[in-house]
Structure 1
Amino acid sequence: MQGGIVYGGLKYQARCIADVSADTDNTSFLAGTVSLKEENEVHFIRLSPYGTELVCEGLFYHPSEIWDLKSCPFDSRIFSTVFTSGETYGASIWEIPELYGQSNAPQLDELVSLKEHASKLKCILWWPRGRHDKLISIDEGNIFLWSIDSSSKTAKVISQESVGMLHRLSGGSWDPHDQNVVATICESWLQCWDLRTMKKANSIENAHFRDVDYNPKKQHIIVTAEDESGIRIWDLRKPKFPMAELPGHVHWTWAVRYNPEYDDLILTAGTDSAVNLLLASTPGSSDSTPESLADYAALRMDPLLHSYSDYEDSVYGIAWSRREPSIFASLSYDGRVVVESVKPYLEKK
């Protein structure tokens, strides 16, 4: 793959893109639109076998603006959305119809609607390691743990916890190493919760968090995107100070994602119309462990491997491919999907 491959099939503005990790035969992504007046769409996009073009395998109508979209990690035809129509918010789990290739923009099959939320919904989290019958939904004031049965189209709340009036949750990430731990972000706090008790396990304070992601290979290690401080890597066992600080974006850093296989590669997206690829080995990940932050900075030199800047609008959505970890997709607000390969930078690690 030489250069970025562009998919221009989204007719409306868009914020959400997700890797279809359960599609083990293809490199594929889902993208959803946020049109205020038009009927919104979900696009099922696949990279062609030779990696030369992006093909729309399915186009589906969605009833409202899509503000969060996640693909089910164990069934390629199932995904979740958080959506809004005016002042009302909702969340549903959908199934792509089996004969989707034989019909133009067929209706999605709504498997489950998550109707217990009274506050503004922010996101849905699937446990990333595969089949799991639990689901997490987060609104501004609450965390819900659900038991999902897609065959009977039922969802039952197992437990719920409120974060109180002082904080407003904005997102989170489910620990891939521990099904019982989820990290949530709320303004100047990052809080980890034990889902068995719905109690806080630990927290990081005094930073304005925008996004968070767990290191897929190393337990207790997370990366955060912050409005003013850029990118920080933390060890949750030592939450007072970050392990490393990396450059952010010129404007807000909106999203951050660890590579699923090469955990020293980090992808970030921002409202400066750029996507950055960072090399971010944490101390202790190699045989030589730096003695101080100065040693660490000297070892790392410039962590910015490349900045992809061929966008004309803010980039809110980024997604690594789990099937082909050297590939990622990005989605700018104007509906432009770009797929890039980072293979040239793997040799520089």
Structure 2
Amino acid sequence: MIAAIMESTEHRSCAYGLRHQTRCLSAVKSTDGKSRFIIGTQELLKPNEVHLLTFDEDIFEISTTIFSHPHEIWDISASKHDPDLVFTCYKQVIDGKKVQSKASLWRMKVTQKDSEEDDLERIHHHQPRGELEHVLTLDAGDGSVKKVIWQDSTEVISVEDWRICIWDIDTKQGTAKLTGSIETPDKNFKFTSAVMNPHAQEVVAVYGRSIQGWNLSSLKTTFAITDSQPAMLLCIDYNPNRPFQIATGGEDCKIRVWDVRDTTAGPLMTIQDHTHWVWSVAYNKFHDQLVLTSSSDCQVNLQSIVSISTGADYKYGDGSEEGSEHDEDADDQVDNAQEAPTDGLVQAFDQHEDSVYQVAWSSVDPWLFLSLSYDGRAVMNQVPSEEKFKIIMN
């Protein structure tokens, strides 16, 4: 494993290399203000690992704790409520021939060491080891689970090829109870991804070329956009600050932003800055005008969609202020017009040499994000200072 700092006149970044193939990462809840991410490795019929990365901004350095994992990991999801809990979706070979996809919840247990032991490990470049303590396994029977989404500390959603399952979990008792399921609307297409609506009890999934939402209580359809594009959809995210807005990416290299209240109007915005399949899209939860995307063109793109974000709501105000105060605000806006954020590609990050399957924003730092490519290269980057300044000042 190798960590390195890369600097240029434009930006500063930090890279971490794993000696394994990888395709999944997740941001971890922070309790001390430091940004943390977990990565799962994907080696067929070989020992695998979970890497917990901690980024120290003061010294611009990544430290790591490594946990052994018994099977190749295809997806990983950290709890939003407990920084020690993580779901992994993995493939397991049964009887030497049959492959099943399963999902298990683990508790990451890190051995506490004194400062002298920590110093010795740093000197000899030894990464501390931790233990994954098995908590529970989601057993739905068909062996095709590919993703787990946290709804809250006691409810999770699992995405399988042909259905979405809703589970009540008890981490103290180590139990999981299936409380409902949703079948794929089109038997010709498997579910490829899903996301929770952060504003309501709703799950939204993509399958084939379509997007559909379901109420988690009634299990009834909330909206459907069928045949939304000419190619398969691969990823989806929900705007954390603006209800009814989602972003999708797929095999036509495009990102589309949708308002699900009008399913016949077409996308609010279409972005095409990638040259191959788009595997990941992620809204910034602090500033939803910033959207990260990654692709098998080996590139990570930072997009600004300010015109359809909550940032647009405050750009000129609602005109309700009176007198000189409003006039001064208007003058300030004119003065800062050239510095205001605009739609478009903020920056393309080309630090990967293989397909970039996942990007994730830090859970605590609004300007920090991590990208991960199939060759095991993880790169920590920051929003360019110029764009950051524009957002803060406007």
| Fold equivalence (TM over 0.5) | yes
The more displaced of 303-312 and 18-27 is: 18-27
Aligned partner of residue 142 in structure 2, secondary structure:
coil
Aligned to 1:169: 191
1:193 aligns with 2:217: no
Which residue pairs with 2:153 in the alignment?
A: 132
Q: Which residue of 2 aligns with 1:279?
A: 304
Matches within 5 A, 1:191-230: 191-206=212-227, 207=229, 208-228=232-252, 230=254
CA gap 1:158/1:173 in 2 versus in 1, 3 angstroms: same
Aligned Cα root-mean-square deviation (Å): 2.2
8 Å CA contact 2:157, 2:167 repeated in 1: yes
3-state SS of 1:346 partner: helix
Q: Does 1:66 align with 2:56?
A: no
Q: Which residue of 1 aligns with 2:336?
A: none
Give CA deviations for 1:178-214 in whole Å, capped at 9, x if unaligned.
1x10101111111101111112111112123111101
Q: How far off is 1:85 after superposition?
A: 2.5
Q: 1:258 aligns with which of 283, 286, 289?
A: 283
TM-score by length of 2: 0.80
Of residues 33, 37, 51 in structure 2, which corresponds to 1:43? 51
Alignment match, 2:12: 3
Amino acid at match of 1:20: V
TM-score by length of 1: 0.90
Amino acid in structure 2 at the alignment position of 1:244: M
> How many residues are treated as equivalent by the alignment?
334
Q: Which runs of 5+ in 1 are unaligned?
A: 290-298
Q: Shift of residue 166 of structure 1?
A: 3.1
- CA shift, 1:43, in A, is 0.4
1:292 maps to none
* Mapped contact 1:194–1:200 kept (Cα < 8 A): yes
Match of 2:33 among 17, 20, 25: 25
Aligned mates of 2:281, 2:377 — CA distance in 1: 19
In structure 1, C-alpha distance between the alignment counterparts of 2:82 and 2:162, rounded to whole Å = 30
Q: Structure 1 pair 268/310, CA: closer, same or farther in 2 (3 Å)?
A: same
Corresponding residue SS for 1:136: strand
Contact 2:102 2:143 in 1 (8 A): no
Amino acid at match of 1:277: L
* Cα deviation 1:224-280 (Å, max 9, x = unaligned): 112215111111101221111112411111110001101000000000000000001
Task: Write the letter of the residue equivalent to 1:122.
Answer: K
1:89 to 1:69, Cα distance in 2 relative to 1, 3 A: same
Return the offset for 1:107: 3.6
- The residue that corresponds to 2:109 in the other structure is 97
| Rounded Cα–Cα distance in structure 2 between residues aligned with 1:347 and 1:246 | 24
**Which residue matches 2:22?**
14
Structure 1 residue 340 corresponds to structure 2 residue 361: no
Offset, 1:120: 1.8
Consecutive unaligned residues of structure 2, counting only runs of 5 or more, are 1-6, 94-98, 118-126, 318-339
Whole-angstrom CA distance in 2 between matches of 1:48 and 1:104: 16
Q: Spell out the pairing of 1:144-183 with structure 2 (5 A cutoff).
A: 144-163=165-184, 165-178=187-200, 180-183=201-204
Residues 195 and 24 from structure 1, CA distance in 2 versus in 1: closer, same or farther, beyond 3 angstroms? farther
Aligned pair in 2 of structure 1 residues 209, 282: CA closer, same or farther (>3 Å)?
A: farther
Structure 1 equivalent of residue 320 of structure 2: none
- Aligned equivalents of 2:350, 2:12: Cα separation in 1: 12
- Deviation, structure 1 residue 53: 1.2
